[in-house]
Chain A
Amino acid sequence: MRDNETIAIKPVRTVLPDQAVAYLIVGVVAIFFVFFLLLPLVHILKTSFVTEGRATVGNYIEYFGKARIRRSLYNSFYVAGVTTAVTTIMAFIVAFALTRTTIRGKSFYKSVSSLPLMAPSVVQALALISLFGRNGLVTNWFGGKWDIYGPTGIIISEIFYCFPYALLILITTLSAVDTRLSEAAESLGAGPVKVFTRVTVPTARYGIFSAAALCFNLTITDFGNPIVIGGDYNVLATEIYTQVEGMQRFDLGATISVILLIPAVMAFMLNNYFTKRNYALISGAARPFLRPSSRSKRLLFSTATIIIIGAIIVIFWAILWTSIVDVWGGRAGESKQILKWLTTFSTRHYNFSHRGRSISVVWTSFWISIIVAFFGAWLTLIAGYVVEKRKPSGSQLLYLITVLPAAIPGLVLGLGYILAFVKVDWLYYKASIIILNIIVANFTLGMLSTMTNMKNIDKSIDEASTSLGADLPKSFFRVIFPLSRISFWNNILFFFERSMVTISAVIFLVSPKIQLASITIIHLIDDGFIESACAMSTIVVAIVVAVHIIFLAIFKKKGIKVM
């Protein structure tokens, strides 16, 4: 008994078959990356080998020839090396405390530890200056004669810059590696120290190496902190800037960029390698119940964690306080009356026009960040969907290209943009170049997040949609996108945050017409207006934190968990 003729089922009309649409999207994204990632890199390479119009390795000879410039390589390695060692140990201690002991206040510590991620990578140096600088709080208190500028300042700043990243990796490692291994060792008679050295550390080794590699990469490519607190101590990042901005030596700047690329990319690849190994070692078994730690263990780890996390709190407190105190360090002769000048408030530092700048830069940063967030999230979603779900041939290559930006130091990419687009009207010194740069520089993480999400959506859902007559766009918008909402909004938040706080990538791209808040902070420090720099930092952090809180509130209301 067939009654097909009751309803007229019209045949489905598709403009293009799904395969063609998939190829088209891959093609567009690939072209996008050729222009906005590969082309700038090619320009860097090209420029480094050109002196006065001739192809030569002269620049490289010059670099290694001039002692002062050559030193920057050694300095970079020294700073990165020390930072890596110290940060890895610190992060391990706190990660251990958070995952293997039963100290109280864990969620508080976790929240605070991610605070530095919401600030421009200059607040660490800024806080150090406020506390230990020539007119610093601690300097005045102890009447100290030290000089925070130089390698020490850089190292301390970088430690707190890298710390959240290293901590995240080690928390994942320590909480996922089977704790029963330690318990087995204990039952065989091993004391706590032996368990630690023979079981805990070795099983976490890939996580440790991965965290170390990441620290190295982050430190050696960081620009904000060294430029502010480095003084005469030049590292590769600051040297590039000096050559380009100071001496207009684009060729030498490009050369140093190439030199910087080598350790940066190697550290990145090491990190990748160890991360893969780390995941292989992690067992999927649920974590067994954590035995209550002994009193002495709790005391030990609580103390260590409080000190480290406390330092982060102090950094942000210093920034905030400096911005609201009338005269930091007191008026003439008041430097020892600490309590007095610490409690004399004023909002004058928030008047940026008195410092030759304008608060409008915050607004510029804000709307640029919104555009970056919108396009960044959409691009990574569509690209991630096509690469993970539709897999046309060539998507493997595209995937590799989209992972590349994470290996390139932001500074190098920024310089590449200047070299590549000097003649392009609609880009050069316009907002568009900044927006594109930030999207490309941060594409990798967004893409990875999308692809993880896509992996969790069963293949048959896409196929069911297709078999019911939906073409690729319809399947995407009606079925896939609703199921990817969480990773999409996480990406919006991620791109917004990165855009608000980024320094290295955009230092070369700003202009009198388009100024960003994060760069203005650096200029304010350059001009000696520490307090105003702190004020602007506070505003930026406040905006990012506020947006985070709003997102959290909305997600909680909708019952969705944010990653």
Chain B
Amino acid sequence: MAKDLVLEKLTKKFDKITAVRDMSLEVKEGEFVCFLGPSGCGKTTTLRMIAGFETPTSGNIYYDGKVINDIIPQKRNFGIVFQSYALFPHMTVEENVSFGLKMHKVPKQQITTRVDELLALVGLQDQKYKYPPELSGGQQQRVALIRSLATYPQILLLDEPLSALDAKIRVNLRAEIKKVQIELGITMIYVTHDQEEALSISDRVIVMNQGYIEQVNRPIEIYKNPRTKFVADFVGTSNFFEGTIQDNRVIDRNTGLEFVVSREALRSAQPQEGTVSLSIRPEKILLHKENGKVVSVQEKTNLKNGTIEVVTFLGVIVRSLIRIADKRIIVDITETDFEQHMVSMGDRVKLYFPPDEFLVFGAAEA
């Protein structure tokens, strides 16, 4: 039987606050999953329950088919990497990494071999006898990583391990973590509030909000087909309209703008009438200047007039804030397109909203 981790109707209450509500989830052996969500959504609490530092109020945690709720942390052999690294400041790198092996009574010679092997894995052979305060943030995190891997843990739990590091180091380190995971084939459960991080390294993303799971899926699905308004808003950027739906037309409550949406955008479980949220990604909106390039228009209704208020250069893309009626829309175009269009502040433009790029969320999914 594969060594899967199964969470069954897990709930955790702290006095009056319910941090995790009725969570059920299956993590397959060798999978890399991310718990993604804002502060207070319950992702760290869930991780700590898996680790054994919190006891579930109700529900079960299964590993390898057995209930592990009551097994103390020392006996679960799940590795943990903390946000603060939690390296022992009075021990050298070598002593830190070998700590777990000593606790498990591994013979000295084998410890030495294993430690050298791990140091080589992350390129820290030269730091073997240094103390944690002497290392940089990135080096400390790598020590924390191999320390947790030393005893061949079944699962590795990582609690926002990179949030304290500079952007560039973060990008490098998460690639290293992913590389290690693939090489060792170890199950990894990663907690983060950085959606870019979650999307770039996980096999599956679990988006959480206020103790609930909003969506579980592969990164690309999460991005392209968010199941709820929260996911659409939290992952990536979206423009939102609130309004009423009639057939396949949505009228925005605030501006009175009307949009035609395609059948795919409506999706299966949609009410044909009632209040809905409408969202569209900035990169899906097509832009053309007055008297400029023509863009293929299927639905004349979805062609709107607007004025450019702000233009921001973000490196790969150019982000414009455009006012239509009384609302600011975010539109992203590539740098090359920008050169061609040559738009600037104050220009009047036409925006085209392709009907099949919309996502419609019913009131229940808000």
Residues of A within 8 A of B (CB): 1-2, 4, 6-12, 14, 17-18, 458, 460-461, 463-471, 474, 478-479, 482-483
Q: Which residues of B contact A11 (CB under 8 A)?
A: 75, 77, 104
From the candidates B90, B99, B110, B185, name the one contacting A468 in the complex (CB within 8 A). Answer: B99
From the candidates A4, A474, A482, A483, name the one contacting B103 in the complex (CB within 8 A). Answer: A474
Q: Which residues of A contact B110 (CB under 8 A)?
A: 6-7
Q: Which residues of B contact A465 (CB under 8 A)?
A: 88, 99
In the complex, B319 has a CB within 8 A of chain A: no
A466's nearest neighbour on chain B, judged by CB, is B73
CA–CA, A7 and B103, complex, Å: 14
Among A461, A466, A467, A482, the one with the most B-chain Cβ atoms within 10 Å of its Cβ is A467
B73 A479 Cβ-Cβ under 8 A: no
Q: Select the stretch in B144-152, B216-224, B307-315 that faces chain A.
A: B144-152
> 30 A-B contacts, Cβ less than 8 Å apart?
A2-B184, A4-B152, A6-B114, A7-B114, A7-B152, A9-B77, A9-B106, A9-B152, A10-B106, A11-B75, A11-B77, A12-B103, A458-B86, A461-B88, A463-B73, A463-B80, A464-B86, A466-B53, A466-B73, A467-B78, A468-B100, A468-B148, A468-B151, A469-B103, A470-B74, A470-B99, A471-B74, A478-B99, A479-B88, A483-B90
Known A9-B151, A469-B103, A469-B104; judge A14-B74 contact (CB<8 A). Answer: yes
In the complex, B72 has a CB within 8 A of chain A: yes
Within 8 A of A (CB), among B47-91: 51, 53, 72-75, 77-80, 82-84, 86-90
In the complex, B300 has a CB within 8 A of chain A: no
B95's nearest neighbour on chain A, judged by CB, is A478
B86 A463 Cβ-Cβ under 8 A: yes
Known A458-B86, A461-B88, A469-B103; judge A18-B72 contact (CB<8 A). Answer: yes
In the complex, B16 has a CB within 8 A of chain A: no
From the candidates A4, A12, A458, A460, name the one contacting B74 in the complex (CB within 8 A). Answer: A12
Using C-beta atoms within 8 Å of the partner chain, give the interface range for chain B: 20 to 34
From the candidates B51, B87, B152, name the one contacting A467 in the complex (CB within 8 A). Answer: B51
In the complex, B183 has a CB within 8 A of chain A: yes
Report A453 CB to chain B, min CB distance, Å. Answer: 14
From the candidates B53, B101, B104, name the one contacting A463 in the complex (CB within 8 A). Answer: B53
B94-108 vs A, CB cutoff 8 Å, 1 = contact: the mask equals 000001110111100
Report B119 CB to chain A, min CB distance, Å. Answer: 16
Among B86, B114, B148, B183, the one with the most A-chain Cβ atoms within 10 Å of its Cβ is B86
From the candidates A10, A463, A466, A478, name the one contacting B105 in the complex (CB within 8 A). Answer: A10
CA–CA, A10 and B106, complex, Å: 8
Among A12, A466, A479, the one with the most B-chain Cβ atoms within 10 Å of its Cβ is A12
Q: Which residues of B contact A471 (CB under 8 A)?
A: 74
Report B135 CB to chain A, min CB distance, Å. Answer: 16
A467 B75 Cβ-Cβ under 8 A: no
Report B29 CB to chain A, min CB distance, Å. Answer: 11
CA–CA, A2 and B187, complex, Å: 12
Q: Which residues of B contact A9 (CB under 8 A)?
A: 77, 104, 106, 151-152
CA–CA, A9 and B82, complex, Å: 23
From the candidates A458, A468, A470, A483, name the one contacting B147 in the complex (CB within 8 A). Answer: A468
A469 B74 Cβ-Cβ under 8 A: yes
Known A7-B106, A12-B74, A12-B75; judge A469-B100 contact (CB<8 A). Answer: yes
If A468-B99, A478-B99 are given as contacts, then 8 extra A-B residue pairs at C-beta distance below 8 Å, sorted by A number, are A9-B77, A10-B106, A11-B77, A14-B75, A460-B83, A461-B88, A463-B53, A463-B73
B104-125 vs A, CB cutoff 8 Å, 1 = contact: the mask equals 1110001000100000000000
Among A1, A9, A458, the one with the most B-chain Cβ atoms within 10 Å of its Cβ is A9
B144's nearest neighbour on chain A, judged by CB, is A464
Q: Which 8 A-B pairs have the closest CB atoms?
A: A469-B103, A468-B100, A460-B86, A464-B86, A460-B82, A467-B80, A482-B90, A4-B152
B152's nearest neighbour on chain A, judged by CB, is A4
Q: Which residues of A contact B83 (CB under 8 A)?
A: 460
CA–CA, A467 and B148, complex, Å: 8
Q: Which residues of A contact B114 (CB under 8 A)?
A: 6-7
Q: Which residues of A contact B152 (CB under 8 A)?
A: 4, 7, 9
Within 8 A of A (CB), among B297-338: none
CA–CA, A479 and B88, complex, Å: 7
CA–CA, A470 and B148, complex, Å: 13
Q: Which residues of A contact B99 (CB under 8 A)?
A: 465, 468, 470, 478
Q: Which residues of B contact A17 (CB under 8 A)?
A: 72
CA–CA, A413 and B147, complex, Å: 51
B106 A466 Cβ-Cβ under 8 A: no
Report A272 CB to chain B, min CB distance, Å. Answer: 27
CA–CA, A455 and B295, complex, Å: 63
CA–CA, A7 and B117, complex, Å: 12
Report B186 CB to chain A, min CB distance, Å. Answer: 8
B245-269 vs A, CB cutoff 8 Å, 1 = contact: the mask equals 0000000000000000000000000
A1 B151 Cβ-Cβ under 8 A: no
B104 A458 Cβ-Cβ under 8 A: no
B103's nearest neighbour on chain A, judged by CB, is A469
A470's nearest neighbour on chain B, judged by CB, is B103
CA–CA, A10 and B114, complex, Å: 15
Q: Which residues of B contact A6 (CB under 8 A)?
A: 110, 114
Q: Which residues of A contact B75 (CB under 8 A)?
A: 11-12, 14
Report A455 CB to chain B, min CB distance, Å. Answer: 15
Report A390 CB to chain B, min CB distance, Å. Answer: 12
CA–CA, A187 and B107, complex, Å: 71
From the candidates A1, A10, A483, name the one contacting B89 in the complex (CB within 8 A). Answer: A483
Q: Which residues of B contact A463 (CB under 8 A)?
A: 51, 53, 73, 80, 82, 86
CA–CA, A294 and B110, complex, Å: 70
A1 B183 Cβ-Cβ under 8 A: yes
From the candidates A460, A466, A467, A470, name the one contacting B79 in the complex (CB within 8 A). Answer: A467
CA–CA, A467 and B86, complex, Å: 11
A5's nearest neighbour on chain B, judged by CB, is B152
Q: Which residues of B contact A466 (CB under 8 A)?
A: 53, 73-74
